[in-house]
Amino acid sequence: MSIEQRVEDIKEDLDFFENELEKYEYIIDLGKKLEEFDEKDKVAKNIVHGCTSQVWLVCKEKDGKLYFYGTSDAIIVKGLVYIILKIFSGSSIDELKNADMDIVFDLKLTEIVTPNRQSGVIGMIKKIKEYIQKA
């Protein structure tokens, strides 16, 4: 599935809910689905800058694809981490390099989460871009 299709799927899921509170609660529920994050990866080089809460993001390459893993110490941010990982993880380097990374607006997150949380999402995307450049 392409990055664009994944964004569209999440957008459809969010559009299902009638109000912002329901969307917010849905994002929190998504955070509960995050895979267990290895404590040894909670180091300075994996911290995402721009977040008000702490967020860690790591990247592993396998068979020409990049896989991202992450977590946060805030429940709503865990949901945002889940969304970012769902969209970008498992994509080829070329697909990631050519992807539209402006998902904050595509998913209408500006209507759901605070500007500080939006900055966190942008920070996660910047971190992913750093990993892409190193791959």
Q: Which residues are catalytic?
A: 51
Question: Does position 114 have pLDDT exceeding 90, yes or no?
Answer: no
Rounded CA gap, 53 and 71, in Å? 11
Q: What is the residue range of 29's domain?
A: 3-134
Q: Quick one: CA torsion of 89, 123, 50, 106, rounded to 10 degrees?
A: -110
Supply the pLDDT for residue 108.
82
In the chain, alpha helices (H): 3-16, 20-31, 75-88, 93-98, 103-106, 115-134
What CATH number is given to the structural domain containing 126? Answer: 3.90.1010.10
Is-contact 57 68, C-beta < 8 A? Answer: yes
pLDDT tens string 22-81: 999 999 999 999 999 999 999 999 999 887 899 999 999 999 999 999 999 999 999 999
Number of structural domains (the chain) is: 1
Supply the pLDDT for residue 124.
92
Rounded CA gap, 29 and 11, in Å? 16
Supply the pLDDT for residue 47.
95
Q: Quick one: CA torsion of 33, 2, 65, 63, rounded to 10 degrees?
A: 110
pTM here is: 0.92
